[in-house]
Structure 1
Amino acid sequence: MSTFSGLGTALSSLIAQRQALEVSGQNIANANTIGYTRQRAALSSLPAAQLPSMFSVSNGPGYGTAVTDIARLNDVFLDAQVRTTTASSSFLAARASASKLLETNIGEPAATGLATQLTGLWAAFGDVANSPNKDSSRAVLLETAAAVADRIGSLYTAASTQWSQARTQTGALVEQANTAASNIADLNKRILAMENSGSSANELKDQRDLLVTELSGLVGATTRTQENGQIDVLVGGNMLVDGSKSRQLAVTGAAGFSDATGGAEVKVVWASDPSRSAGLEGGQVAGLLSVLAPPAAGGTGGLLTEAAASYDKLATQLATQVNTLHRQALTIDGTQGGDFFDFTAGQPAALGLKVAFDDPALVAVAAPGAGALDGSFARQIALLGTSVDGPDATWSAFVVQLGVSTASATSRATAAEATRASASAQQIAQTSVDTDEETVNMLAYQRAYEGAARVLSAIDEMLDTLINRTGIVGR
């Protein structure tokens, strides 16, 4: 090796240390950038040159150092864990949120709740039984009954409104997932082009990983890495993103609450083939689909449609039990009583429940042959409030069941979120920038750069002596 080769060795170190210093500077610049993964310059020594002679060998040192790669210090296993836990957490959070909102709309226990209004209804029947000759008691009874019917109808309307909001949100989230998938496909294309040209695409990979995590939270996406560095995104085992190509999802099925209560299902399908379900297994959209599901045998259907079915059952039970007794009684003028409650044709029972008349004189509470001032049937109707199979018992069972399911959903969602947060914390610990560590690295690179510069100066002095001062003794 010649003396001049030392210049190349020192130069390689200057270049490598400067590049490594720039990488540390990039890390510090992005210390607070969400989704940024810290990087490291991989330094490798350059081997000595191979001489062309067949039997000759080189005993000299290598030719310095070079940056062979700028590595992203991520962990693929932690990334996969974050995506899996994010999908599960988002799914359970969507269900828990819907349960909490439904529980809030029911408003039990409260002074304005349906349970209190039912109690007031039975008390009003008791007042009529005590004072059957007072029109004021009968008028109060009609108003109280109308309030109960309106309350049941408002509960049904609230469930319908919540369903419509969830349906709209599902469509918006699917559009968001389609946009994210298209962006991932575009990033795949750009990353491949940059790496083929010899450039580093680490920052684009950070953006891609953020989008993949977003997709996991939306539709439970998983990934598979290709040999060329591109990633495929799968939903329900099917390709959503294949390299630089992406597919689109669409929402079909029930468009209104009446469709859902009638058995129609909201589905997420492939836009290119609407007959094929996307088969979502996790994520917020899957959670909303479970909330939007139609009723099923055994009460295992969607949260909101099952609630609507419970409201219909309550309205039908209330009308049937009260009407059965009211028809047997006589009015104040001795006329046979008719239905106390009625339903509006073409509407669900809960929404169409109403008081059949508005004339207090048509309230029938007297037993046949007991006289006009008898109120025995009013007392029997009032006792429905304490019946084990009465409307109060049905409503109480529904409220208790909803409370238990909401508590369970909330507990599961909280546990899943804790798991996701733990996985995210491990990922952040692996990928986030430690400014103290980067400061130490910068000092190390700075000193190495200064050392290489000193070597360069020393070699320059040696060459100056060799070229300019050798052979001038005695002149």
Structure 2
Amino acid sequence: MSTFGALNTAYRGLTAAQQGMNIAGQNIANAATEGYTRQRVEQSSLAAPARGVFSGGTLQPGQGVSVDAIARLGNSFLDAGVRSAGAQAGYASVRSSALQGIEGILQEPGDNGISTALQGFWSAWQGAANQPDQPGPKGLLLNAANSVTDKISSAYRALDSQWSSVRGQAADSVDAVNAAAAQVAAYNTAIRSTLAAGGSANELIDARAKLTDSIASLAGGTVREQADGTVDVLVGGNALVTGGSVRTLALSGTPSDRMGSPVQLLWKNPPGVAAPDGGELAGALSVLAPASGGSGGPIAEAAQSYNTFATALATAVNTVHQSGVTGTGATNVDFFTTAGTGPAALSISGPANIDNIALKASTGGALGTSIADKISQLGTGAGSPDKLWAGIVTNIGVQSRGAQQHESLTNAAQASALTGRASQASVSLDEENVSLLTNQHAYQAAARVMTAVDEALDVLINRTGLVGR
């Protein structure tokens, strides 16, 4: 190696060490930055020049060090695990939240629940039977009946409101997915052009990775890396993002749709039905599904349970009440009425006044209370409205508990996946300090080599041949 070649080798060592210190400083500065993936300088040694006729056949040393790239120390396998765990956690979270909301509407057990109102209703019949000639107990009976029907109808309205709220949240999630997909496409374009120009796109890749994590949490999906640095994002096996192009999503129906209307996730162009692989959207669609004999969406199933209960309560009471005589002498009169169309839970209502209450049978005496006695006992027995309601409450409670346990498990899995990725990609201050010191010493050593070569050249050029002058 010539003297000037040694100077060039030392210069390469200086620049490599300086680049290493810069990257270590970059990592330290972003140690607390969310989504940042640590970086490293990739170096390789430069080979010796080829032996030629002018080299005299002697062996030549290498030409120093080359900075080949600034590597992003991420792991696509761990990234895929984080996205999968995030999709499962998003799905479980929406379902758990919805079922806990249904539990809150039930208000069971408690003073404001239907169970307490039913107990008061049966007791009111007994009270009216004890004083059949007094209007006061009959008025209390009307109040008790209205309390039951009001709780049924208000709970149904609350479920309808919850359904609309979940649908609104699902629509917001669709907008968020479309916005994130558009940004991913923009990053794809920027990353492709940056890499093609020979630059480093690590920070752009980090920003894009955060967006793909967000899409996975909302709609599931998978990410497929391409050779040019871009990624394709697939939802349900269909491309949401391909290079710089985006295929947008939408929810079927309108915000004014009510409970029971089917809700689907649709592709806009070309049109079609999308099937999310998980995430909050898949959870919301499962919650919004129409009732289907117990296997439909939990909100619609709960609403259908209120309709079933309202119908069963009205049928049980009316069957006995129709055989009695009201205060006006009328027979075959229903105590509860429900509209022929529409949800029974919304239309159920009691008598308009106490004259429409039948306490006695048609063959009883003036103060007979056999009808009231029979109705007051309807709360007992295997097929009683109370048993039906208890089964509804138990079923919803079991579903809610299962959903909460599923949420806890998926959250733990997500935390584990994030921890695993962080152990690979996050910045360790101790490691970066070691890297900083290593490159600092390398820089000082290369500077000493450069100084020594410079001094040797000075002696050779400026001082050789001065003897004898």
With the shorter chain as reference, the TM-score category is: over 0.9
Work out whether residues 129 and 365 of structure 1, in 8 Å CA contact, stay in contact via their aligned partners in 2: yes
Work out whether residues 121 and 141 of structure 1, in 8 Å CA contact, stay in contact via their aligned partners in 2: yes
DSSP 3-state at the match of 1:369:
coil
Which residue in the other structure is 2:280 paired with?
284
Which residue in the other structure is 2:463 paired with?
469
1:223-273 residue CA offsets vs partner (Å, 9 max, x unmatched): 111111211000000000001111100100365554x42xx3100110113
Distance between the aligned counterparts of 1:253 and 1:223, measured in 2? 29
Distance between the aligned counterparts of 1:56 and 1:231, measured in 2? 52
Which residue in the other structure is 2:301 paired with?
306
- The Cα shift of 1:334 comes to 3.8
- The Cα shift of 1:348 comes to 1.1
DSSP 3-state at the match of 1:239:
strand
Mapping for residues 186-225 of structure 1, pairs under 5 Å: 186-225=186-225
AA aligned to 2:393 is V
Work out whether residues 168 and 255 of structure 2, in 8 Å CA contact, stay in contact via their aligned partners in 1: no
Which residue in the other structure is 1:293 paired with?
289
Distance between the aligned counterparts of 2:55 and 2:457, measured in 1? 30
1:54-85 residue CA offsets vs partner (Å, 9 max, x unmatched): 99655121111121111111111111111111
Choose from 325, 345, 366 the match for 2:320. 325
AA aligned to 2:5 is S
Which residue in the other structure is 1:273 paired with?
270
Q: What is the root-mean-square deviation of aligned Cα atoms in Å?
A: 1.5
- The Cα shift of 1:324 comes to 1.2
Normalization by structure 1: what TM-score?
Answer: 0.96
Aligned residues with identical type, % of pairs: 42
- The Cα shift of 1:218 comes to 0.2
AA aligned to 1:43 is Q
Work out whether residues 325 and 362 of structure 2, in 8 Å CA contact, stay in contact via their aligned partners in 1: yes
**Please, which moves more after superposition, 236-245 or 366-375?**
366-375
Structure 2 unaligned residues grouped into runs of 5+ = none
DSSP 3-state at the match of 1:40:
strand
- The Cα shift of 1:335 comes to 3.2
Which residue in the other structure is 2:78 paired with?
78
DSSP 3-state at the match of 2:337:
strand
Work out whether residues 127 and 137 of structure 1, in 8 Å CA contact, stay in contact via their aligned partners in 2: yes
Which residue in the other structure is 2:311 paired with?
316
Choose from 331, 338, 343 the match for 2:333. 338
Which residue in the other structure is 1:409 paired with?
403
Which residue in the other structure is 2:166 paired with?
166
DSSP 3-state at the match of 2:366:
coil
DSSP 3-state at the match of 1:59:
coil
**Please, which moves more after superposition, 101-110 or 330-339?**
330-339
Work out whether residues 160 and 257 of structure 1, in 8 Å CA contact, stay in contact via their aligned partners in 2: no
Work out whether residues 149 and 348 of structure 2, in 8 Å CA contact, stay in contact via their aligned partners in 1: yes
Structure 1 unaligned residues grouped into runs of 5+ = none
Q: 1:316 to 1:63 in 2, by over 3 A?
A: same
Normalization by structure 2: what TM-score?
Answer: 0.97
DSSP 3-state at the match of 1:129:
helix
**Please, which moves more after superposition, 182-191 or 318-327?**
318-327
Distance between the aligned counterparts of 2:87 and 2:163, measured in 1? 22
Distance between the aligned counterparts of 1:187 and 1:332, measured in 2? 79
Distance between the aligned counterparts of 1:52 and 1:405, measured in 2? 81
Which residue in the other structure is 1:142 paired with?
142
Which residue in the other structure is 2:345 paired with?
350
- The Cα shift of 1:305 comes to 0.7
AA aligned to 1:282 is G
- The Cα shift of 1:440 comes to 1.1
